[in-house]
Amino acid sequence: MSRVEIGLNDIFCPESIAVVGASSDEQKERSGWTGTLLNSGFKGKLYPVNPKGGKILGLQCYPSLAAIEDRIDFAILNLSPAFVPKALEDCAAKKVKVVHIFSAGFAETGTDQGKKLQAEIRAIIDRTGIRTIGPNCMGVHSVEGGISFANLPRKEGPSALVSQTGAGAARTILYGSRRGIYFGKAISYGNAVDLDSPDLVEMFAHDSKTKYIALYIEGVKNGYALFRAAKKCLANGKALIILKVGSTEAARQAVTSHTGALAGSEQAWEAFFAQTGAIRVSTLEQMVEQLVALQFISRVRGRRIGLIGRGGGPGVIATELCEKANLRVPPFSGALRAQLEKITTASAGSMIRNPVEVGVGRVGAQQGYVDAFKMIAQSEEVDLILTHLNPEAFIIYGGAPEWLNDSISALLGVFKSLPKPVALVLPPGETVESKDIVERAWDRCLDEGLAVFRSYESAASAISKLADYSEFLERV
């Protein structure tokens, strides 16, 4: 039978959810799915199911799915794997639209028993057309739907996350939340016996709320379907960022024992990226940092970086990291240098060649800092200005929080009016005095829409990939 047609709302905004395999021990179920859904603010109808019946966390508990009179939109199966096929049959009989098989113990174990159980599930899906997420996964995180698999930040944002791994999804959501990146919808889909990355990416490609789609993938059964979904993202103006693991032999083997997936050939993946313009990253953190670049910088017209900041050594290191990341740090023309010379004193140890060290000194940012931004941005010599402030500086210069606060104010006061994009590198404070001051500075920048990175490497990598992506969009 053909699969039931579903859309994002069926996955992320069901009106009724059954928790099949809710514990009869209320204390236990508080941290189980019933408690988790209550905590995450689910506003629809919630039906715990346990043969013992009774009440759980103030809710009527049903002895079986069939015993529930209402319609069930979504079911979560939290059962020993051997009981999953029967429960899935019950869901099909009840006409549940989407089933999240939370249980693990299927093909990923590599055992005959696990593989056989997964084949049974697959046969039920093929026969009944019921749609399933998993098995072996955390399922849905949906701000609008009031659903989450954990106590995670809940704020709408233009990014969606499709992740084969559950722990990785949680990490990405948390890591993003401190960098201005919020996932209104996220899904961990595990072994992907039915719903797989192509289905999910395709749905997000048509979602008006989604501008960026982040995908963590270990393997995919139908590579061509993912290719088509990626092309759809491109056609619809959605950026697709992919962390594809399994490019080394041991990682390929680890993938198989994690979700039972086949990692696929590295060559095929390279062709995939070259043709779809999808942005390839290597870690979950890079995935988030790429979203920062997309959301806060959007596009760059080229690879020429103007570096402004405090500290000659850091400026030199930043130059080298930019160049190693395939960006350029061109020496400024004589005309631009002559302009910059007017706002600094060459005798003060400042550099004006690019990198530029000007206008941030012992007392914090001075007018020269702002003027340098204007001069460099108005020249045709760079495509983006990357500025760096070191939290150490205000400790070196006597420990006044004003040092950083004033510099950030100067930066925020000027960056929006410039004809070139700007990004800031501001590493975490490492001391008791500097930690909170730096965190507040990050928040101020993010609130104003300024891209902040915590290291030169992460900034250089994200900006370089943004340049690749911008070039790809020019070509297609």
> Looking only at residues 177 through 236 of this chain, which bind a second copy when binding is defined by CB under 8 A?
177-178, 216, 218
Instruction: Compare residues 198 and 260 and give the one whose CB is closer to a second copy.
Output: 260
Residue 383, amino acid:
D
What burial letters (b/e) apply to 103-130, b meaning 16+ CB within 10 Å?
bbbbbbbeeeebeebbebbeebbeebeb
Smallest gap from residue 411 Cβ to a second copy (A): 18
Instruction: Compare residues 257 and 298 and give the one whose CB is closer to a second copy.
Output: 257
Tell me: does residue 249 bind a second copy (CB under 8 A).
yes
> Looking only at residues 323 through 382 of this chain, which bind a second copy when binding is defined by CB under 8 A?
323-324, 328-331, 346-349, 351-355, 362
Tell me: does residue 166 bind a second copy (CB under 8 A).
yes
Instruction: Compare residues 70 and 402 and give the one whose CB is closer to a second copy.
Output: 402
With CB under 8 A, what is the number of residues at the site for a second copy? 91
**Residue that the structure tokens 């709302």 belong to:** 9
DSSP string of 430-474, one letter each residue: -SHHHHHHHHHHHHHHHHHT-EEESSHHHHHHHHHHHHHHHHHHH
Cα–Cα distances in Å, from 119 out to 92, 113, 340?
Answer: 17, 10, 69
Tell me: does residue 152 bind a second copy (CB under 8 A).
yes
**In angstroms, rounded to a whole number, what is the distance separating the alpha carbons of residues 67 and 139?**
25
> Looking only at residues 394 through 413 of this chain, which bind a second copy when binding is defined by CB under 8 A?
395-399
**In angstroms, rounded to a whole number, what is the distance separating the alpha carbons of residues 446 and 37?**
30
Q: Considering only the stretches 194-202, 290-298, 368-376, 452-460, report the one whose residues sit in contact with a second copy under the rule CB under 8 A.
A: 452-460
Residue 179 DSSP code = T
Instruction: Compare residues 62 and 453 and give the one whose CB is closer to a second copy.
Output: 453
* Number of other CB atoms surrounding residue 455 within 10 Å: 16
Q: Binding a second copy by CB under 8 A: which of 142, 163, 290, 387? A: 163
**In angstroms, rounded to a whole number, what is the distance separating the alpha carbons of residues 158 and 331?**
37
Q: Binding a second copy by CB under 8 A: which of 248, 265, 298, 333? A: 248
Instruction: Compare residues 3 and 328 and give the one whose CB is closer to a second copy.
Output: 328
Backbone φ and ψ for 383, nearest 5 degrees, come out as: -110, -20
Instruction: Compare residues 149 and 415 and give the one whose CB is closer to a second copy.
Output: 149
Tell me: does residue 267 bind a second copy (CB under 8 A).
no
Instruction: Compare residues 70 and 320 and give the one whose CB is closer to a second copy.
Output: 320
Smallest gap from residue 456 Cβ to a second copy (A): 7
> Looking only at residues 101 through 140 of this chain, which bind a second copy when binding is defined by CB under 8 A?
104-105, 108-111, 114, 136
Smallest gap from residue 98 Cβ to a second copy (A): 21
* Number of other CB atoms surrounding residue 30 within 10 Å: 15
Bridge partners of residue 356, in order along the sequence:
308, 352
Token duo for residue 98: 């989407």
Instruction: Compare residues 62 and 369 and give the one whose CB is closer to a second copy.
Output: 369
Smallest gap from residue 391 Cβ to a second copy (A): 8
Tell me: does residue 168 bind a second copy (CB under 8 A).
yes
Backbone φ and ψ for 423, nearest 5 degrees, come out as: -140, 155
Q: Binding a second copy by CB under 8 A: which of 316, 335, 338, 473? A: 316
**In angstroms, rounded to a whole number, what is the distance separating the alpha carbons of residues 249 and 255?**
10
> Looking only at residues 32 through 71 of this chain, which bind a second copy when binding is defined by CB under 8 A?
none
**In angstroms, rounded to a whole number, what is the distance separating the alpha carbons of residues 357 and 378?**
18
Torsion of CA 388, 391, 396, 402, to 10 degrees: 100
Q: Binding a second copy by CB under 8 A: which of 251, 299, 405, 440? A: 251
**Residue that the structure tokens 């209320």 belong to:** 26
Instruction: Compare residues 62 and 149 and give the one whose CB is closer to a second copy.
Output: 149
